Chains A and B, each alone.
Chain A
Amino acid sequence: MTEKLTEKRSAAFAYAPAPESRSVVDIAPSYGLFIDGEFTEAADGKVFKTVSPSTEEVLSEVAQAGEADVERAVKAARKAFEKWSALPGSERAKYLFRIARIIQERSRELAVLETLDNGKPIKETRDADLPLVAAHFFYYAGWADKLDHAGFGASPRPLGVAGQVIPWNFPLLMLAWKIAPALATGNTVVLKPAETTPLSALFFADICRQAGLPKGVVNILPGYGDAGAALVAHPDVDKVAFTGSTAVGKEIARTVAGTSKKLTLELGGKGANIVFDDAPVDQAVEGIVTGIFFNQGQVCCAGSRLLVQESIQDELLDSLKRRLSTLRLGDPLDKNTDIGAINSAEQLARITALAERGEAEGAERWSPACELPTSGYWFAPTLFTNVTQAHTIARDEIFGPVLSVLTFRTPDEAVAKANNTQYGLSAGIWTEKGSRILAVAGKLRAGVIWSNTFNKFDPTSPFGGYKESGFGREGGRHGLEAYLDV
């Protein structure tokens, strides 16, 4: 009887499919590199395919930048720098305001495009990525003619040509974080999007055209790691900004050693989400879910380690498991989808291997009943209990929907465990007591601390890491410094 009731109830929660229309975006069969205001083929004619991770359908064929193309793009950016940096700040501001407005106008199209190329749910691209992208350009537009007030002295100067390499987890948002402050401060840019998600950056090139941005100010070079490495190493690049893995970040730091290049790095993380016994459990559960399952956990600041006070562990985990059972995994274009596809086969293999390692090392694995689609790259929401600090899944960044649960008894122990990592990007604190939040926040070695919330972003708020999560800040007034000669 009770079983039947349960069945009925879950049936009542079944949603009809509600797919967002693909017709809002028109993807061309092929795209070039965007250099000096023109789309152009790669010098060696190489191309690569970009696929939709949820279906493995080929979306388009994209020119693949090589060393010769990096040369051309840097030259174009250098040439454009003279006039761009000499423009009054108020004129640069108006270009950026135009870009912000065009992004707002085209935001549904870009959201669908991003979901197709990246695999993340439409409700995230529509409600998080795109609004943040537009807001970021809007915010830095306003700084372009106010640099005297930013606290870096009178009339701070730009650096020159910025070489920027961005990841695939928030393709357009990471582009915005890089390009908006660079242009506002008077630099020109050469940007390399990730090889699995080149499309939104190429659409952005078209937005630059619509905005009438002078040619050469923004250059987009889709390609692989070799193009990124060539860009970072190019002698005429004055500024390097990278978001990605800690291993590559270290390699870049070695590459720029001995040069005058200014470097900012936004790298990996293993964020601790600390839940005290007085936390509001329902809110904390929502925060934990957001913390690790937002964007399938492919977030550098994910709350991938749950540190729960021992006395409430059972209650919290029961509640969390109940909540995970209601998550909808599937078609990223469906407006009801909570968990989309993993970005690539390579990333899926990495997540799979680390999860297997977790089991092998003795942690207890749990996932809700969850049917995975037959094509595309998918991984069910997963949590591990009985995790110790020595376990690989408590130490390595998994970059997937996998949560490692550890416990603590005292606040000191929570802080010690939270800080016991090579990383220091983010952390969460859940407690009703304000002084405890501030005391614990004061002891955490991490660049962003969320209290009774998680994964909050705003263009006015600086973001970046301690320790091996990188250095420099993006966003806010602080984010200007990375692109100024100060």
Chain B
Amino acid sequence: MSDRTNERLSVFKTYKLYVGGKFPRSESGRVYEVTDSKGNWLANAPRSSRKDARDAVVAARKAFGGWSGATAYNRGQVLYRVAEMLEGRREQFVREVADAEGLSKSKAAAVVDATIDRWVWYAGWTDKIAQVIGGSNPVAGPFFNLSSPEPTGVVAVLAPQESSFLGLVSVLAPVIATGNTAVVVASEKSPLPALSLGEVLATSDVPGGVVNVLSGRTAEIAAPLAAHQDVNAIDLAGADAELAKELEISAADNLKRVLRPQAVDYSETPGTERMTAFLETKTVWHPTGSLGASGSSY
């Protein structure tokens, strides 16, 4: 018993996928080695398969009715709750982001703070986006005419490869703020912040299936998602030009809404384009009649 030291051996976390509100391993049983920027081993992350992607779509579809049907106010409350939970796990994310992106503690802390504020920013959008992009239309006739945004459905999101946490949240939050549900493919090289975000979502009030997080080879998971007939849209942020073109071609099969990869400075306050990309506009007409003498025409 001479090898006893004062140093306590830490407990490692097994990183798992987040699908339908549960934490499964990949059905394929595969993992891949995740390292920090210096090549030190961090974890064995699940390497998702085509089947995992399909399971995630099923979960996202199942959650869509409830989430899109919730009031915008309710969605705002839930998203704000996510920010509260993130704040509580701030230290954990600072460590994970520092490891993932090779940042100093203080730089990683700034990234995490910006990420939490980004959730708050989108939490405030849930009940405002309709007021900014919707409205009544003064048609030339006796009709009430109102255009309102509605979520498009299940959105596949390829998270940015470099910005593993701020970038991730910057592409995920706008998708669900407006009532869509999401299947997110984490940064291939740095999936751990995304997998930990799943744990945050599970302990917030976000219903299971609204966000599903997969890790693994981006190209391998993205292909079945882009071709999936029950996926309504895809954000290609995490795809390189070649892969993006391929995915856009398969996305055309059921005319998915496609957001192409573009150069984004995730530290800047975004505009509304990541929300509007995944919104439909519904216009409702109704006769207003007129106040005629008969009293029967309106």
Contact = CB atoms under 8 A, between A and B. Distances in A.
A149 interface: yes
Given A94-B120, A412-B291, A146 B286 contact: no
B124 A93 contact: yes
Nearest to A433: B298
Interface residues of A, number: 33
A144 B295 CA distance: 47
Interface string B120-137: 110111111001100000
A435 B80 contact: no
B298 A146 contact: no
A435 B132 contact: no
B289 A149 contact: no
A90 B113 CA distance: 12
B131 A476 contact: yes
A435 B287 contact: yes
Interface string A432-453: 0111101110110000000000
A438 B288 contact: yes
B76 interface: yes
A90 B286 contact: no
Given A93-B120, A146-B125, A435 B289 contact: yes
B258 to A, nearest CB: 24
B166 to A, nearest CB: 14
Given A142-B125, A411-B295, A460-B131, A438 B144 contact: yes
Nearest to A139: B127
Contacts of B288: 435, 438-439, 442
B290 interface: yes
Contact of B123 (A142, A143, A151): A142
Name the residue in B72, B117, B286, B291 with the highest tally of chain A Cβ atoms < 10 Å from its Cβ.
Answer: B291
Nearest to A409: B295
A201 B148 CA distance: 37
B117 A90 contact: yes
A466 interface: no
A250 to B, nearest CB: 32
A410 interface: yes
A410 B127 contact: no
Contacts of A20: none
A438 B123 CA distance: 34
Interface residues of B, number: 28
A135 B73 contact: yes
Nearest to A412: B291
A144 B72 CA distance: 18
Contacts of B281: none
Given A135-B73, A436-B298, A97 B132 contact: no
Interface in A81-113: 90, 93-94, 97
B283 interface: no
Interface string A463-486: 000000000000011000000000
A411 B291 contact: yes
Contacts of B295: 410-412
A143 B124 contact: yes
Interface in A128-143: 135, 138-139, 141-143
B128 A477 contact: yes
B298 A138 contact: no
Nearest to A140: B124
B291 A142 contact: no
Contacts of A288: none
A151 B125 CA distance: 15
B120 A138 contact: no
A145 B124 CA distance: 9
Nearest to A141: B124
Contacts of A406: none
Contacts of A93: 120-121, 124
A415 B293 CA distance: 13
Contact of B76 (A142, A434, A476): A142
Interface string B70-114: 001100110010000000000000000000000000000000000
Nearest to B114: A90
Nearest to B294: A410
Nearest to B81: A101
Contacts of B272: 149
B298 A145 contact: no
B127 A460 contact: yes
A261 to B, nearest CB: 27
Contacts of B287: 434-435, 438
Contacts of A412: 291, 293, 295
Nearest to B286: A434
Contacts of B77: 138
A138 B288 CA distance: 35
A438 B132 contact: no
Contacts of A443: 291
A142 B124 contact: yes
Contacts of B124: 93, 141-146
B298 A439 contact: yes
B120 A97 contact: yes
A149 to B, nearest CB: 5
B127 A142 contact: yes
A145 B271 CA distance: 12
A210 to B, nearest CB: 16
Nearest to B144: A438
A146 B291 contact: no
A452 to B, nearest CB: 14
Contact of A435 (B73, B117, B121, B286): B286
Contacts of B291: 411-412, 415, 439-440, 443
B123 to A, nearest CB: 7
Contacts of B76: 138, 142
Given A149-B272, A435-B286, A143 B298 contact: no
Contact of B289 (A90, A151, A436): A436
Contacts of B120: 90, 93-94, 97
28 contacts: A90-B120, A90-B121, A90-B269, A97-B80, A138-B76, A138-B77, A138-B80, A142-B76, A142-B123, A142-B125, A142-B127, A143-B128, A145-B121, A149-B132, A150-B132, A415-B291, A433-B298, A435-B289, A436-B289, A436-B298, A438-B288, A440-B298, A442-B288, A459-B73, A460-B127, A460-B131, A477-B128, A477-B132
Interface of B: 72-73, 76-77, 80, 117, 120-121, 123-128, 131-132, 144, 269, 272, 286-291, 293, 295, 298
Give 10 nearest A-B pairs by CB, closest first.
Answer: A142-B124, A439-B298, A435-B289, A438-B288, A439-B289, A435-B287, A477-B131, A436-B298, A410-B295, A438-B144
Given A439-B289, A439-B291, 11 more contacts: A94-B117, A97-B80, A97-B120, A142-B125, A143-B124, A151-B132, A412-B293, A442-B288, A443-B291, A460-B131, A477-B128
Interface of A: 90, 93-94, 97, 135, 138-139, 141-146, 149-151, 410-412, 415, 433-436, 438-440, 442-443, 459-460, 476-477
